[in-house]
Amino acid sequence: MEYALAFVDENNLFFEPMHDVVHVDEKWFYEDEVKHTYYVVGDEEVPQRVVAAGKKGGWNIRLLCQRPNSPDFNVLDFEFFASIQSLQLRKGSRGIQKLVNTVKQAYLEIDVGTLEDVSLSLQACMICALQCHGGNGYKLPHMSKNKLRCEGKYPNALSVGKELYEQVAKEVNWLL
């Protein structure tokens, strides 16, 4: 539940639009055979260093771990990333540089509406999970995204609702 709440703007209770959120699968780091070395300064905790670096220049870079066994939050399984994987398999890309080129090609080939749909579907999944107290015993409601798009009513972000936000925030000890 904390993962979902981390994407909600507490001032207006809307999800962040998520158009600039990058979801990384840890397996991507093992795509090439080159070994990477990472150093941690002795008395410095890694998250503090990452958070400080992520705020430089006005950026809002955060590292959030998705809880295990939450397939509905796995944006990498949604349509856009399935198309990237399909393209990668067709082109046989191995190694980081070939993978990067494949992803760039997928961006050129896919409709922007698909990206918007993925973002909105993820937000809807998060709302359902919050309503189920972090569980996954829900059915995702059909949102008629294409109809909303045609009518010019397609939302950038979904609202959580004050009552739900406060209830969940109390459950995870964000509000006292």
What was the pLDDT predicted at 44? 53
User: Any idea where the domains of the chain sit in the sequence?
Assistant: 2-31+68-171
Q: Please list the ranges in the chain whose pLDDT falls under 70.
A: 19-55, 59-80, 83-84, 87, 175-176
What is the rounded CA–CA span in Å between residue 80 and residue 90?
16
What was the pLDDT predicted at 148? 95
What was the pLDDT predicted at 149? 94
**15 pairs with which residues across the strands?**
8
Exposed/middle/buried for 48, CB within 10 Å: 0-12, 13-18, 19+? Answer: exposed
What was the pLDDT predicted at 161? 94
What is the rounded CA–CA span in Å between residue 89 and residue 104?
15
What was the pLDDT predicted at 12? 94
Exposed/middle/buried for 119, CB within 10 Å: 0-12, 13-18, 19+? Answer: buried
